[in-house]
Amino acid sequence: MIKRWLITGCSNGLGRALAERLAAEGDQVLATARRPETLDDLAARFPGSLRTAELDVRDPDQCRSAVDRALAAFGGIDILVNNAAYGQFGALEEVSDAQLAAQFDTNVFGSWRLTRAILPSWRTQGGGHAIFVSSVAGLVAFPGLAAYNASKFALEGAAETLAVEAAHLGVKVTILQPGGFATGYSAALSAPSERIDAYAPIMDGAFEAMSNMNSNPAINSPELFAEVVWRVSRMPSPPLRLPIGLDAEAMLKSAYADRLDEFDKVIAARQHTDG
């Protein structure tokens, strides 16, 4: 069955790989990017299934226009993929208010705006599927990514709440938690507004690790991401959360175990104190 998609952040990386895979499968795709000319080659290769639109998710008018374009072109939207995001580097003290606001405006508020714009059509048609591209950083804290971590934690909270609020409307929600992928993420990290020497022993190592991420021979490929999302889109009951990549599975499993262990210790200590 052909699905109708609206995908954000398609100029490169995960969004581009997904748009290409879906168009090749014959689905109808509105691939969006801040610079839509980066998608001209895909539009030329898949003239019958892929269309493009300019979309900066920080712009409410462009969010509404993208939804309207997809509805007019396809007669409806079955799946929204909130993928547009970037990483702000820096320790918590090094990141300015403006940088923090910009990080949330793209990674959280953009997804919120677009989902809110699409929900009226889903209420009318009796459902839809909202896919939020989070990260292992939506659960695991990484030094140097305080703002990014905070945005992904917030994104997952909003998405999980939507799943509870809109299930009776036929709306499905999936939170994707990718591990390390061969994309331009690390190269596009924004530098903090200031460098504080006291954090250098941690920040320098963290930045080097992220900068060298793509050289890891075991890093996940964007094609794996596209394959997983395509399969999820065909599930009658897709999962709420889904790790993507063996590294993601290992990191998340360890994080859950650590949190449960800490929880058990706190409860045991409280019971001992109460007793």
- CA 272 to centroid of chain Cα atoms: 42
- Phi/psi for 10 (5° steps) reads -100, 5
Token pair 């953009």: residue: 110
Q: Supply the pLDDT for residue 275.
A: 63
Catalytically annotated residue among 11, 148, 151, 185: 148
Token pair 């290992």: residue: 250
pLDDT (tens digit, 0 to 9) for every residue of the chain, 275 residues total? Answer: 899 999 999 999 999 999 999 999 999 999 999 999 999 999 999 999 999 999 999 999 999 999 999 999 999 999 999 999 999 999 999 999 999 999 999 999 999 999 999 999 999 999 999 999 999 999 999 999 999 999 999 999 999 999 999 999 999 999 999 998 888 777 778 889 899 999 999 999 998 888 777 777 778 899 999 999 999 999 999 999 999 998 999 999 999 999 999 999 999 998 877 76
Q: What six digits make up the tokens of 67?
A: 């939804």
| Whole-number Cα distances in Å, 158 to 116, 132, 162, 191, 233 | 11, 10, 6, 27, 20
Q: What six digits make up the tokens of 142?
A: 């990484």
Domains and CATH numbers, the chain: 4-246 (3.40.50.720)
Q: State the DSSP H helix or E strand holding residue 243, giving kind and residue range, or none if neither.
A: strand 241-244
**pTM for the whole structure:** 0.94
Separation between Cα atoms, residue 22 and residue 28, nearest integer Å:
8
Mark whether 3 is an active-site residue: no
Separation between Cα atoms, residue 155 and residue 274, nearest integer Å:
37
Q: What six digits make up the tokens of 192?
A: 């903090």
- CA 2 to centroid of chain Cα atoms: 23
Do the Cβ atoms of 90 and 99 come closer than 8 Å?
A: yes
Catalytically annotated residue among 3, 11, 135, 152: 152
Q: β-strand 241-244 against 171-178: which pairing, if any?
A: parallel
- Phi/psi for 79 (5° steps) reads -140, 130
- How many CB atoms are closer than 10 A to CB 16? 23
Complete edge-to-edge strand list for the sheet that includes strand 241-244: 50-54, 28-33, 4-7, 79-82, 128-133, 171-178, 241-244
H helix intervals, the chain: 13-25, 40-45, 60-74, 97-104, 110-125, 146-166, 200-211, 222-233, 246-274
Q: Supply the pLDDT for residue 197.
A: 95
Mark whether 148 is an active-site residue: yes
Catalytically annotated residue among 11, 49, 134, 151: 134
Do the Cβ atoms of 123 and 169 come closer than 8 Å?
A: yes
Q: Supply the pLDDT for residue 207.
A: 87
| Whole-number Cα distances in Å, 110 to 8, 150, 151, 183, 231 | 10, 15, 11, 21, 25
Q: What six digits make up the tokens of 156?
A: 């997952």
DSSP state of 22: H
Separation between Cα atoms, residue 191 and residue 265, nearest integer Å:
38
DSSP state of 57: T
Mark whether 134 is an active-site residue: yes
